Amino acid sequence: MSITKLICKATIVLAGILLATPMLHAQRLDQPLFIEPLEFNPDYQFFAPVDLGDFGEKPDHRTGWYAQYHRLHTFINRPASGATGIQGDFTWGNVYDIGFMTETGSGWSVTGTHIGGPNVFSTVIQPRINRINDDDADNVGGDPDDLEPIFPFQDRNDFRTNSRVYFLKDSINVANMTGFEFNKTWRLEPFNNGSVLEPFMGLRYFKLKAFHRRDTYITTDETFVDNPDPNDTDVLENYTSTVGAWENDMVGGQLGLRWVERRGRWTMSSQMRGFGAQNFQAFDSQIDTVQTLYDGVMEGADVVSESYTRTRTGATTSEFVFGYDVRAEAAFELTRDIALSAGVHVSQIVRGIGRSNDVLANDQGFTTAGLLIGLNVNR
């Protein structure tokens, strides 16, 4: 990245902070940076009756410590290299929030997110030249008490199919993401209808890992000629597995706004944030090749020789990423402090992500959208 681009990006971030500062006047100058765990004198009556307000007035907005947990069922778009009729896959994730808000309208919040997928492969079972090793009696119906260990181990029949096969895998959408946020929050004066706005700004770190795999299998004769099936001349098989992995480590800042309105037992809320970050990328690729020579092509053919080769390459680079998060939810209060919530979310990193097996294609997007359901405590 050139010095000019770096200065431009720093200027944009600084300008955004300066523009946002006048909105955040609600913070008192004497407000301490950190709050003691018992600062708010909690009474620990989590199951007290719901506070519905006095004389028809809407209940006050909550202060003190709060916590949230959400379970996500979310859709992840596929990398550009995996274009198919279906443009994404569903997976599961978790979101954890903890923080506090003082009576003067100032607080802090910490958010942790993990999405553990998707893990979508296309798999083909490919029989090997000697489809069954007759000597491996333990796997072909022999006496289970008469174990005959096969050496080397790779000459055994696969325990899942009772034959000698390769599981050829083609990755379609394989990734996972973990992120953390640390935000300073403010609560502005309520509107006439009782709803409030809570602007926030803070730091954000998130890590996105993307994996790529392609397996190939080909048989030839000893002159390396691939003969058409069926044939009885191919005694040499070549299995190649190409595995690539991207690690996208993103560090940056964000600005956001949360809207909240309480209506009886219901709390309606929505939030949106925009972020920008520098993405420090690392790419690693590994190619494993197994070449096996047989003395024939029938079942039980013996292995004459087997060779392994491994080639590894790697690269590092960086990209500037930007994107947004949007969440809307409704929470129903079971008790004074405990509520069940449900909603929807959309998040997108517009560009700057490495996801495919091409080291030059390191500027793809990453989109998630789905449903969430969770539990709130004093939120």
What's 205-268 look like in SS3?
Answer: EEEEEEEEEEEEEEEECCCCCCCCCCCCCCCEEEEEEEEEEEEEEEEEEEEEEEEEEEECCEEE
- Say if CB 347 and CB 327 are below 8 A apart: no
Q: Tell me if 153 is assigned to some domain.
A: no
- Say if CB 253 and CB 279 are below 8 A apart: no
| Domain count of the fold of the chain | 1
Structural domain including 294 reads 3-128+164-377
pLDDT at 52 (0 to 100)? 64
Q: Tell me if 136 is assigned to some domain.
A: no
pLDDT at 25 (0 to 100)? 46
pLDDT at 23 (0 to 100)? 47
Alpha carbon distance, N-terminus to C-terminus of the chain: 42
Q: Tell me if 246 is assigned to some domain.
A: yes
- Spatial separation of the C-alpha atoms in residues 221 and 207, rounded to whole Å: 47
- Say if pTM beats, i.e. exceeds, 0.95: no
Mean pLDDT (10-residue bins), the chain, 379 residues: 50 49 46 55 65 64 92 94 69 96 92 95 89 66 56 72 88 96 95 93 97 93 66 80 96 97 91 97 96 79 88 94 97 92 97 88 93 95
pLDDT at 29 (0 to 100)? 44
The DSSP H or E segment spanning 19 is helix 3-20
Q: Tell me if 144 is assigned to some domain.
A: no
Q: Tell me if 140 is assigned to some domain.
A: no
- Single-letter amino acid code for the residue at 177: M
**Which residues make Cβ contacts (< 8 Å) with residue 241, sequence separation at least 6?**
169, 213, 214, 215, 287, 288, 289
Q: Tell me if 269 is assigned to some domain.
A: yes
Q: Which residue has the tokens 């790779």?
A: 154
Of the candidates 130, 138, 125, which has an alpha carbon nearest to the alpha carbon of residue 155?
130
Q: Is 372 helix (H, G, I), strand (E, B) or coil?
A: strand
pLDDT at 219 (0 to 100)? 87
Q: Tell me if 367 is assigned to some domain.
A: yes
CATH of residue 122:
2.40.160.20
Q: Tell me if 151 is assigned to some domain.
A: no
pLDDT at 344 (0 to 100)? 98
